[in-house]
Amino acid sequence: MTNLPKIYAPQEIEGKWYQLWQKNGYFHADATSDKPPYAIVIPPPNITGSLHIGHALDNTLQDCLIRWRRMQGYNTLWMPGTDHAGIVTEIIMERQLAEEGTSRTDLGREKFIERMWQWKDESAGYIVSQLQQLGCSCDWERERFTLDEGLSKAVRTAFVKLYNQGLIYRDTYMGNWCPHCNTVISNLEVEPIEIDGNFYHIRYPVKDSEIVLEIATTRPETMLGDTAVAVHPEDERYQHLIGKTARLPLCDREIPIIADVYVDREFGTGALKVTPAHDTNDYEIGLRHDLEQRTIFTPDGYINENAPDNYVGLPRQDCRKRVVEDLQNLDYLVKIVPHRHAVGHHDRCGTVVEPAISPQWFMNVRPLAQRAIEATKKGEVKFIPERETSRFYHWMENIEPWPISRQRWWGHRLPIWYCNACEAVTAAMETPQQCECGASDFRQEEDVLDTWFSSGLWPFSTMGWPENAEELKTFYPTSVLVTGWDILFFWVARMIMLGLGCMDEVPFRTVYLHGLVADEKGQKMSKSKGNSIDPLETIGTYGTDAFRFALVNASTPNPYVPLPESQIEAGKRFANKIWNAARFILMNLEKHPVPTRMDTVETEQETLEIAWIRSRLSHTITTTTDAFENFRFHEAAQTLYAFLWHEFCDWYLEFAKQRVSQNEPEALWVAADVLEQTMRLLHPLMPFLTEEIWQQLPHGGGRSESSEKGSVTVSSWPEPIGGNPTAEATMATLMEVIESVRSIRGELNVPIGASVEVHIQSPNTEVRERLEAYLAQYLPAFTRVADITIAESLSKPRASAEAVIGELAIYIPLADIIDLDAEHARLSKRHQQAVKDVTAAQKTLDNPNFIQRAPEKVVKQKEELLARLKVEQEKLARSLAMLTESENED
């Protein structure tokens, strides 16, 4: 009796197989091996996180590659680990501390770091356990963390090396400051978000003149830090004012009127307020004209003492309201014009970012960026899809210095020491023993490194660098990096640059940048938008394999890949279809045990269906392998789906059932062999289901000797045996005829138990020979047939339905099988209703008010309904036409 239960219950099988895989060490890579290496480093998820839809897609695709290459005989390493996620993790901890009535500053740096490590130890395993639930076959024995001692040593080594090369330096510059996190952030961490704001038009009186300059700004509070008014040097309206001064409203100050080519004469009033300490462009203008850099904000976003007393201590937004009120009361405000514009927000905490001047540590990445461009042009790194290459070039050619310091505590503290005697700066792995001045008293830099610095070393720091570890010799450079296109500049580019800078070699040969999971409207799924799928809930409902299959099937080479729930439901139906097919085969094998592997049978001894299914299997193996080779994951999924569902289950198993009923089990034995090989093909996508079925199927060459029972995860990848064009062509003709006969029966409501006559006319001798040889043998497996006539030319029988396939015509007499008048009346009624339904749906969609006011989802549903109704209408019209013609002949 088969051990497969009648009902497929994924939750009952998934856990047991993952435990077996781990117990037997199937995921562990050899540091030294004769096998060809294949390595992937996981994009390390934050220790703060839980499995989200992006993780699910990204890691499913990586697991597909690793499982496939493992089965191909490679020495596979999928390096796992997690990221300390400096700012995000601190934000979470600060919330916890606030709930306890304390703060990180109350604790102090040392106590705060202790608390962070304690929290990390308690929560770090959460995301790992979720990745395991997804089926990820990582080498968990090698799991790393970006603050591990080994990785910390790698960070210090890289920093000191790059510092000594002159690529890391300290400078005071305008950067993006987060008032909530109290740290500088890079341009990549600033997310522009459209908001509804205003242009505030303000009068700036010119000293000793009746002239008043009108200046528009979206940030009126920053005028408290203005140190000039700028106009274009060729603007005739203002040339006579250049060199004069203006009185700054609300402040007891005068500021110069200067000329600068940056000013756009066509935008606004053509006059620009200049606030060098609080705007990036103004900062550059200030440097050119040696203007005062007047800072009016505290690091946490409050007004400081450089502003008039009545504004000091106000938060930024409150200050804006007060400034606008005062401008109105003092008649300096001309007008307020609504203006929707993009404002930079910190992508971690959501706070509006403030341009601010501060001393920071920078990395000059331009030399490394140029090396990265050259390496890519030489083919050392290949981007898939190809369009990402030009995007990579554009970014690297225009790259700016990278601000790598952060004013936080959780992270890699910069290995920079200052001499307390002479303030000399030293970059070193450990605290220096003595300064050049002879002093031995040092203090370490307070700042920590940007999290992306340590994750940029990930491909080699996880493998033991800077030591000459065996893993590094075997697996570096890694084979492929799989990640979303949105992280190309954050992470991918930095890994390439740091790999070249530290290892003198690129970190990976191929970069596959997949799309982002989107909802049905094409918008990126995210928890903040409320349109995201919870992977764990989805797995609980549909099972891991159905979810994984849907993800892979959705992974088309597009920037955004929709994943409607219906697609996951389809994955579950696919799993059920495979399960039921396996049950049929296993139950019948109890009566007809397999004597030998059927792939040794000579082709000429095979029946048509066996030759055909083996040819189709060979084609499926070739196509699936090629799809994986070229990162066309969706093509692999669709190929396997089409073969298993439509060719194997819908056709071949029906032939096999007929053979078994005639006590001819060879077709059943071949079914078992084909299913066993297909389970190996499908294993990278659906690991649990395939393991459960594979374990119960008879198999020989596919079984590994790695354990007593073996596992599909370490079995061999199937090899194609070659196609059989003759068998495929013959079966294609038979299938077209069978489908046509079944379609006529279904559309014209022929009773299930009624046998029909089938008359076939074909001028093609080869086609007739194929049909004569096989049709009488195979057609009865799909429908009841009383008699079959095949001829080069024949007269259409009285009252017959007709189907045409190229030069081939099929006639089925209906007069003695159905009531033609009653069937005509039934179809006419249905057709009339279908016409009404199509007209009504079309009228709704032609209504502009409906299109404009109805939710997009409702409009899409109505469009899909119209499409279905049109198909039904056409089908009924075709059936009526056949029936009408039959009645006329009668």
The enclosing domain of 266 has a CATH number of 3.90.740.10
Q: Is the pLDDT of residue 542 over 90?
A: yes
pLDDT at 85: 87
Considering the domain architecture, whether residues 109 and 197 belong to the same structural domain is answered as: no
Which amino acid belongs to residue 437? C
Query: H-helix or E-strand containing 192?
Result: strand 190-205
Q: Mean pLDDT throughout 552-573? A: 93
Place of tokens 């349109």: 531
| Alpha carbons 517 and 596: distance in angstroms, whole number | 46
Q: Which residues of 779-813 are buried (b: 16+ CB within 10 A; e: fewer)?
A: bebbbebeebebeeeeeebebbbbbeeeebbbbbb
| 557: its two tokens | 């080479």
Q: Mean pLDDT throughout 2-28? A: 92
Mean pLDDT over each residue of the chain, to the nearest integer: 89
CATH number of the domain encompassing residue 499 = 3.40.50.620
What is the distance, to the nearest Å, from the Cα of residue 751 to the centroid of all Cα atoms in its chain? 49
Q: How confident is the model at residue 875 (pLDDT cuts 50, 70, 90)?
A: low
pLDDT at 595: 80
| 237: its two tokens | 């309206």
| Alpha carbons 149 and 678: distance in angstroms, whole number | 45
pLDDT at 604: 44
Place of tokens 């005697």: 421
pLDDT at 869: 80
Q: Mean pLDDT throughout 243-257? A: 94
Q: Is the pLDDT of residue 442 over 80?
A: yes
| 380: its two tokens | 């050392």
Q: Which stretch of 423-437, 484-498, 876-890 has the lowest confidence by average pLDDT?
A: 876-890
Q: Mean pLDDT throughout 304-316? A: 94
Considering the domain architecture, whether residues 48 and 125 belong to the same structural domain is answered as: yes
pLDDT at 338: 93
Considering the domain architecture, whether residues 231 and 332 belong to the same structural domain is answered as: yes
| Alpha carbons 884 and 890: distance in angstroms, whole number | 10
What is the distance, to the nearest Å, from the Cα of residue 281 to the centroid of all Cα atoms in its chain? 35
**Strand, coil or helix: what is 774?**
helix
Q: Is the pLDDT of residue 349 over 90?
A: no
User: Phi, psi (5° rounding) for residue 318?
Assistant: -65, -35
Considering the domain architecture, whether residues 719 and 780 belong to the same structural domain is answered as: no
Q: Mean pLDDT throughout 452-472? A: 96
Q: What is the pLDDT of residues 487-502, one digit of tens each?
A: 999 999 999 999 999 9
∠ CA(510), CA(512), CA(513), 5° rounding? Answer: 140
Residue 419 lies in a domain: no
Which amino acid belongs to residue 791? A
Q: Is the pLDDT of residue 818 over 70?
A: no
| Alpha carbons 780 and 777: distance in angstroms, whole number | 7
Q: What is the pLDDT of residues 631-663, one digit of tens each?
A: 999 999 999 999 999 999 999 999 999 889 888
Q: Which stretch of 102-106, 173-177, 727-731, 848-852 has the lowest confidence by average pLDDT?
A: 848-852
Residue 96 lies in a domain: yes
**Own/partner pairs, 698-703, CB within 8 angstroms, 24+ separation:** 698/589, 698/593, 698/594, 698/672, 698/673, 699/597, 699/673, 700/597, 701/597, 702/676, 702/677
Considering the domain architecture, whether residues 24 and 62 belong to the same structural domain is answered as: yes
Q: How many CA atoms lie within 13 A of 709 on its CB side?
A: 14
Q: Which stretch of 127-131, 324-328, 773-777, 801-805 has the lowest confidence by average pLDDT?
A: 801-805
Considering the domain architecture, whether residues 807 and 825 belong to the same structural domain is answered as: no
| Alpha carbons 410 and 797: distance in angstroms, whole number | 86
Residue 408 to residues 82, 122, 414, 686: CA-CA distances in angstroms? 19, 22, 11, 43
| Alpha carbons 778 and 770: distance in angstroms, whole number | 12
CATH number of the domain encompassing residue 745 = 3.30.2320
Q: Is the pLDDT of residue 708 over 60?
A: no
312, 328, 355 - which closes a domain = 355
Between 633-641 and 544-554, two packed helices, what is the crossing angle to 10 degrees?
120
Total domains in the chain come to 5
Place of tokens 């509804």: 196
Q: Which stretch of 154-163, 345-354, 869-878 has the lowest confidence by average pLDDT?
A: 869-878
Q: Is the pLDDT of residue 713 over 70?
A: yes
Q: What is the pLDDT of residues 718-743, one digit of tens each?
A: 999 999 999 999 989 888 888 888 88
Considering the domain architecture, whether residues 738 and 871 belong to the same structural domain is answered as: no
Residue 785 to residues 754, 770, 777, 779: CA-CA distances in angstroms? 8, 18, 11, 8
Q: Is the pLDDT of residue 890 over 70?
A: no
| 772: its two tokens | 């004569």
Q: Mean pLDDT throughout 746-764? A: 83
| 713: its two tokens | 């995860």
Share of the chain above pLDDT 70, in %: 95
pLDDT at 864: 83
Considering the domain architecture, whether residues 105 and 73 belong to the same structural domain is answered as: yes
Q: Residue 141 gets which letter from DSSP?
A: G
Residue 557 lies in a domain: no
Q: Which of 537, 568, 572 is nearest to 554 (CA)?
A: 568
Q: Mean pLDDT throughout 814-841? A: 74
Share of the chain above pLDDT 90, in %: 66
pLDDT at 27: 97
Q: How confident is the model at residue 707 (pLDDT cuts 50, 70, 90)?
A: very low
Q: Which residues of 282-291 are buried (b: 16+ CB within 10 A; e: fewer)?
A: bbebbeebeb
Q: Which stretch of 219-223, 551-555, 831-835 has the lowest confidence by average pLDDT?
A: 831-835
Q: Is the pLDDT of residue 601 over 50?
A: no
Residue 275 to residues 198, 282, 283, 314, 360: CA-CA distances in angstroms? 18, 6, 7, 19, 21
Q: How confident is the model at residue 887 (pLDDT cuts 50, 70, 90)?
A: low
Note whether 91 and 348 are within 8 A (CB): yes
Q: Is the pLDDT of residue 596 over 80?
A: no
| 180: its two tokens | 């909530």
Residue 543 lies in a domain: no
Q: Mean pLDDT throughout 112-129? A: 87
Q: How far apart are the first and last CA of the chain?
A: 55
Pairing of strands 212-217, 228-231: unpaired
Residue 661 lies in a domain: yes
| 617: its two tokens | 């299997």
Q: What is the pLDDT of residues 404-425, one digit of tens each?
A: 999 999 999 999 999 999 999 9
| Alpha carbons 849 and 846: distance in angstroms, whole number | 9
Q: How confident is the model at residue 889 (pLDDT cuts 50, 70, 90)?
A: low
538, 572, 590 - which closes a domain = 538
pLDDT at 307: 94
CATH number of the domain encompassing residue 700 = 1.10.730.10
Considering the domain architecture, whether residues 266 and 333 belong to the same structural domain is answered as: yes
Considering the domain architecture, whether residues 516 and 580 belong to the same structural domain is answered as: no
Residue 401 lies in a domain: no
Q: Which stretch of 93-102, 149-158, 211-220, 799-808 has the lowest confidence by average pLDDT?
A: 799-808
| 172: its two tokens | 């005071």
Provide the residue range defining the domain that includes 708. 564-723
Q: How confident is the model at residue 84 (pLDDT cuts 50, 70, 90)?
A: very high
pLDDT at 847: 86
Note whether 139 and 436 are within 8 A (CB): no
Q: Mean pLDDT throughout 529-541? A: 86
CATH number of the domain encompassing residue 883 = 1.10.287
More confident residue, 527 or 283: 283
Q: Which stretch of 126-130, 434-438, 777-781 has the lowest confidence by average pLDDT?
A: 777-781
Note whether 478 and 41 are within 8 A (CB): yes
Considering the domain architecture, whether residues 608 and 485 belong to the same structural domain is answered as: no
Residue 660 lies in a domain: yes
Note whether 32 and 470 are within 8 A (CB): yes
Pairing of strands 516-518, 271-274: unpaired
Considering the domain architecture, whether residues 601 and 713 belong to the same structural domain is answered as: yes
Name residue 692's beta-bridge partners: none
pLDDT at 251: 93
Q: Is residue 715 exposed (0-12), middle (13-18) or buried (19+ Cβ within 10 Å)?
A: buried
692, 723, 754 - which closes a domain = 723
Residue 689 lies in a domain: yes
More confident residue, 69 or 768: 69
| 128: its two tokens | 């790992």
Q: Which of 567, 570, 560 is nearest to 518 (CA)?
A: 560
